[in-house]
């Protein structure tokens, strides 16, 4: 060995989240290690895995300035042009370890693309560096895999695969040069810690453990980013304890947004302010929490909300409610519409029954109700359904109280114990939430705080019960691997109870699920279209199978592969499905079966437990009056949309902020109600939810991407949304009225997506 050289043991431990290039099969990855372009070693091949575990060590001779290059390939494609390239990692030894140290260090690096290929890569590589386990002069190793054999003797290497050699030469120079530029500065600022032999988890990196609630991940380009589960936000910057404190402040802001959630046209007294009442009126509550109204002008009380009455002034009284009022005479209005009936309550108040929709209302259908003027039909329908749903006997609170006492810092565990301890009958009594060590009476505020905190905890992916449907989307789906927790079915029944409890007591949860979960709660059949919100790539592939002739192109059987913690399992979609070939004639059956398996079958036990808890509090025949979108509103409500924040973090293409159409656009949505703004946001970005830090953190398909308005299309066309890029194509309409009409028509009648 030359002066300054040292023999060390370098180990390739595992890779995590490798790219899956083929729809119906997983790669067979192996790694090639090159040291200074001379020494070469190869790991064994791991069959059918995107998370291979090698744990192979190699004796290498290095200097502090030595460069190490690791490339990952797919053995099945190794003889093709791109060699099945899955990513590379390069670094200099001095940047990751001290050669004088006798300790072993473990570190993780994201896989990167090669300059010689345009293939995208993803995932991370876990490696170890430590002292040599042998005292021989120089290692003489021969490793064989994927047809590539190299022999190292006295530091010289003989390659038997010229294709690999040329690729290594081309890749090593650029990769190691990049490593020199970036790695040295990094190590000088933040020297990596020397760790034990344990593999770094996603909750720590080479610089130490992340703050509580943070997780480290890599995107499709191999870039490391950080997820804050406390606020459900992402960032490229490594969090510090200061940022953890800031996230606590963001949680307070999110709590305020959650408490302001509502339903379209919800007349619940909790969301009504006394400031909206006519002059001289006041809203009060009985001992049981029922609201009533005091008219200080006449010194009378009533159960009837004066804002909901269609009244007119008598004599010369003003148009407001300050003077003496009386109901309009309805004798001249003629008969009720077909299917309607007029009835009286026990207090002789008139109400109306619509037998067509099985709903009731205080509003006379013969009058142009102020609530129904310029109101879209979808909102009227939802309001009537909501009135009907909440008026049924099965949704009325029972006499008595149900006390639940929890600790804030153990809210998940305490809530599980309390809610599962009580019977469904007791849970239908008035909820009285109490936080340990705090003085407070629950008149609605404590229960809203309870559901806010609990929804943040029980849907946290750390517990492996639910997972996010995509990297850039915070909609939730059931985790098919939740069985790692032996009590997971009991927890799913508990979560079903919590959702039912929130609906029953008119509270909201700070969580939104994939649309297929709402459909399953309504006992509706899932379809291929529901796959799009779960796995967009898989959806497009299955759609391609249906729309094209697959004869002689795809080698498919009625089976599917599932990666279960590194073990690849083959699932038969029908009896003996592994031996039944998918043909042009039976491909529709295959698509239906694989869709049902992907969405329903593989989480069937979890959903059955979840559904059992849900229907203990919400009768399935009553909730079926809603569709899946309305059920999403019923569970999650609508959060406020800050127009100023939206406007300040919007970009323009071809347009500018001073253009007339852009000014009209902001004037229109400023005058819209919150649910209409949420629908526009859903239309343009794919979700009605806003990141906690506001529109500046709006996510696109490839990372943070601001809301964008682009001039595109003719004035006769509707606006077009590109949800992957948070972009709205807005034609240059000649008038403000036409712009508002086209915009409203687009967001209220959109029923699907298209591809560019």
pLDDT tens digits along 655-699: 999 999 999 999 999 998 877 887 788 778 766 656 544 677 676
Question: Is 37 among the domain residues?
Answer: yes
Residue 181's pLDDT is what? 40
Query: CA-to-CA distance for 73 and 85, rounded, in angstroms?
Result: 5
Neighbours of 342 (CB within 10 A): 12
User: In this structure, what token pair is assigned to residue 218?
Assistant: 């890599």
pLDDT at position 366 is 66
| Range name among 84-88, 206-210, 289-293 with the lowest pLDDT average | 289-293
- Amino acid 724: pLDDT: 61
Give the residue numbers spanning the domain of 692: 643-751
Residue 592 lies in a domain: no
Residue 233 lies in a domain: no
Mean pLDDT of 64-89: 85
Domains contained in the chain, number: 2
Q: How confident is the model at residue 211 (pLDDT cuts 50, 70, 90)?
A: confident
Marked catalytic residue, from 380, 402, 464, 724: 724
Looking at per-residue pLDDT, the higher value among 148 and 79 belongs to 79
Domain boundary among 131, 153, 168: 131
Residue 127 lies in a domain: yes
Query: Which tokens in the block code for residue 510?
Result: 């700070």
Q: Which residue has the higher pLDDT, 512 or 157?
A: 512
Per-residue pLDDT at 471:
65
Q: What is the CATH number of the domain that holds 84?
A: 2.60.40.150
User: Among 264-273, 344-353, 411-420, which stretch is predicted with the lowest mean pLDDT?
Assistant: 264-273
Strand ranges across the sheet with 148-153: 142-145, 148-153, 156-159
512 in any annotated domain: no
The mean-pLDDT minimum among 6-10, 296-300, 319-323, 666-670 falls in: 319-323
Helix (H, G, I), strand (E, B) or coil at 475: strand
- Reported as a pLDDT band with limits 50, 70 and 90, residue 312 is very low
Q: Is residue 433 part of a domain?
A: no
In a domain? residue 107? yes
User: The domain that contains 683 carries what CATH number?
Assistant: 3.30.2410.10
Last residue of a domain, one of 131, 162, 193: 131
**Given 71, 104, 131, which residue is the final one in a domain?**
131
- Give the residue from 153, 111, 102, 90 showing the smallest Cα distance to 129: 102
Give the tens place of pLDDT for each residue, 324-335.
334 444 444 567
Question: Which range, of 183-187, 482-486, 493-497, 694-698, averages the lowest pLDDT?
Answer: 183-187
Catalytic, 464? Answer no
pLDDT of residue 616: 96
What are 91-122's pLDDT values in tens digits?
A: 888 888 777 777 788 888 999 887 767 777 88
Interior/surface letters 63-74, b for 16+ CB within 10 angstroms, e for the rest: beebbbbbbbbb
**Cα diameter, the chain:** 111
Q: Is the pLDDT of residue 381 over 80?
A: no
The whole-angstrom separation of Cα 631 and Cα 634 is: 5
Q: Is the pLDDT of residue 594 over 70?
A: yes
Chain segment 498-532, per-residue pLDDT in tens: 999 999 988 878 788 999 999 999 999 999 988 88
Residue 513 domain-assigned (yes or no): no
């Amino acid at each position: 060995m030359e002066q300054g050289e040292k023999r060390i043991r370098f180990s390739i431990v595992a890779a995590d989240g490798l790219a899956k290039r083929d729809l119906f099969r997983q790669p067979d990855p192996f790694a090639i290690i090159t040291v200074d372009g001379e020494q070469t070693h190869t790991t064994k091949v791991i069959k059918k895995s995107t998370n291979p575990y090698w744990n192979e060590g190699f004796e290498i001779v290095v200097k502090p300035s030595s460069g190490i290059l690791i490339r990952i390939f797919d053995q099945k494609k190794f003889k093709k042009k791109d060699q099945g390239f899955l990513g590379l990692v390069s670094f200099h030894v001095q940047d990751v370890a001290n050669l004088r140290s006798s300790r072993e260090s473990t570190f993780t690096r994201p896989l990167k693309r090669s300059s010689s290929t345009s293939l995208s890569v993803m995932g991370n590589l876990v490696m170890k560096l430590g002292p040599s386990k042998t005292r021989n002069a120089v290692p003489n190793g021969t490793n064989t895999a994927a047809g590539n054999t190299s022999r190292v003797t006295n530091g010289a290497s003989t390659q038997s695969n010229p294709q690999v050699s040329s690729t290594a030469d081309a890749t090593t120079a650029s990769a190691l040069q990049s490593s020199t530029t970036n790695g040295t500065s990094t190590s000088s600022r933040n020297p990596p810690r020397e760790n034990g032999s344990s593999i770094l988890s996603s909750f720590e990196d080479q610089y130490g453990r992340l703050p509580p609630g943070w997780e480290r991940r890599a995107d499709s380009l191999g870039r490391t980013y950080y997820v804050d589960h406390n606020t459900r936000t992402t960032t490229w910057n490594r969090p510090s304890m200061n940022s953890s404190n800031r996230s606590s402040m963001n949680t307070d802001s999110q709590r305020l947004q959650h408490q302001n959630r509502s339903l379209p046209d919800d007349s619940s007294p909790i969301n009504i302010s006394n400031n909206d009442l006519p002059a001289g009126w006041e809203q009060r509550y009985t001992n049981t929490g029922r609201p009533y109204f005091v008219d200080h002008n006449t010194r009378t009380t009533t159960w009837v909300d004066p804002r909901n009455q269609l009244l007119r002034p008598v004599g010369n009284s003003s148009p407001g409610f300050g003077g003496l009022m009386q109901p309009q005479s309805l004798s001249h209005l003629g008969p009720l519409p077909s299917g309607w009936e007029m009835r009286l309550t026990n207090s002789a108040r008139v109400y109306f029954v619509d037998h067509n929709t099985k709903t009731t209302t205080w509003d006379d259908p013969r009058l142009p109700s102020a609530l129904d003027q310029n109101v879209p039909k979808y909102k009227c329908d939802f309001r009537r359904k909501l009135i009907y749903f909440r008026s049924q006997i099965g949704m009325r609170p029972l006499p008595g109280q149900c006390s639940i006492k929890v600790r804030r810092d153990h809210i998940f565990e305490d809530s599980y114990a309390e809610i599962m301890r009580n019977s469904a009958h007791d849970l239908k009594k008035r909820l009285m939430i109490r936080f340990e060590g705090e003085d407070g009476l629950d008149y609605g505020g404590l229960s809203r705080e309870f559901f806010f905190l609990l929804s943040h905890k029980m849907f946290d992916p750390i517990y492996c019960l639910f997972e996010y449907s995509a990297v850039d989307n915070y909609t939730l789906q059931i985790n098919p691997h939740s069985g790692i927790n032996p009590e997971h079915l009991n927890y799913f029944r508990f979560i079903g109870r919590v959702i039912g409890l929130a609906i029953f007591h008119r509270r909201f949860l700070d969580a939104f699920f994939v649309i297929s979960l709402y459909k399953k709660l309504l006992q509706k059949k899932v379809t291929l279209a529901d796959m799009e919100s779960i796995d967009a790539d898989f959806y497009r592939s299955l759609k391609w199978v249906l729309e094209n002739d697959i004869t002689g192109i795809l080698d498919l059987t009625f089976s599917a592969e599932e990666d279960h913690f590194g073990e690849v399992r083959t699932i038969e979609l029908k009896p003996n499905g592994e031996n039944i070939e998918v043909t042009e004639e039976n491909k529709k059956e295959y698509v239906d079966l694989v869709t049902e398996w992907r969405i329903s079958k593989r989480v069937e036990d979890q959903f059955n437990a979840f559904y059992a808890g849900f229907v203990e509090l919400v009768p399935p025949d009553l909730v079926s009056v809603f569709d899946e979108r309305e059920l999403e509103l019923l569970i999650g409500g609508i959060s406020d949309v800050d127009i100023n924040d939206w406007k300040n973090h919007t970009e323009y293409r071809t347009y500018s902020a001073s253009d007339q159409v852009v000014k009209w656009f902001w004037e229109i949505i400023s005058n819209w109600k919150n649910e209409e703004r949420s629908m526009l946001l859903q239309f343009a970005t794919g979700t009605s939810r806003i990141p906690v830090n506001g529109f500046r953190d709006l996510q696109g398909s490839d990372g943070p991407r601001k809301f964008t308005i682009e001039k595109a299309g003719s004035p006769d066309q509707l606006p077009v949304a590109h949800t992957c890029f948070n972009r709205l194509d807005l034609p240059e309409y000649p008038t403000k009225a036409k712009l508002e009409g086209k915009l409203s028509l687009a967001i209220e009648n959109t029923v699907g997506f298209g591809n560019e």
